[in-house]
Structure 1
Amino acid sequence: MILQRMCQDRADWDDPLPDDLRPDWERWKVELLKLNGLGQAVSVQLHHFSDASFSGYGQCSYVRLKTTDEKVHCALVMAKARVAPLKPVTIPRLELQAATISAKVSKVLETEMGYKDIIFGRIPR
């Protein structure tokens, strides 16, 4: 519904979230941690994987939640894939490009999900 509202307002993809929608966004992020009866999350981690071949390269990012009852839940958050350039490129170069995409996606997810201060640690109360 937040995305729908921004589309109705003709917001561009990179436009910042309007102030009147920020409380809804923050509430959604908190409620996301409670989906499917997961319980209260005590730690959140982002894990990024990348790989390459002569035909292409890509990356995927997962969020790992650990709850108060010591259960662990993982879910795919984002993935990107690219075909290899027509000009021959070495596998190490393609691997580096895939790793670079993972690093950029990591920064985006930390900012957009608001987990920058809690990655690899406990959620502040």
Structure 2
Amino acid sequence: MDVVSSEKRSAMMSNIKSRNTRPELEVRRVAHRLGLRFRLHRRDLPGTPDLIFPSRRTAIFVHGCYWHRHFGCKYAYNPKSNVEFWQNKFQSNVNRDLRVRRELENRGWKVITIWECETKDQKMIADILFQKVCDAAV
């Protein structure tokens, strides 16, 4: 049973943002510090990637571990109420992520996923960006 009313839960859920989240802003800060220049939220690309590097044809998605089911992550826990609804919701998110990745790769884009739990460590973000974005240009 939920500890808050359904109206309160609805209000809480509606406050969850999809753009300019703390993890996304952290990735942007590190990318900028590395001298990488990027564009944000290109709506003409499948899935509207969070960051893109047009000259490198690289798209980055900064995924929340909970919503996009980061396998093995402690933040990808399952709710205890309305279980069937949430399982369907999470599965549709994962299926959409796979479809979007495939569409971008078929268009010749390299796709990188950075998970929310990885954004807590700036060095880890820098390593990911350097290895997967900078090395792609070499």
Normalised by the length of structure 1, the TM-score is 0.28
Q: Which has the higher strand share?
A: 1
Normalised by the length of structure 2, the TM-score is 0.27
Structure label with greater radius of gyration: 1
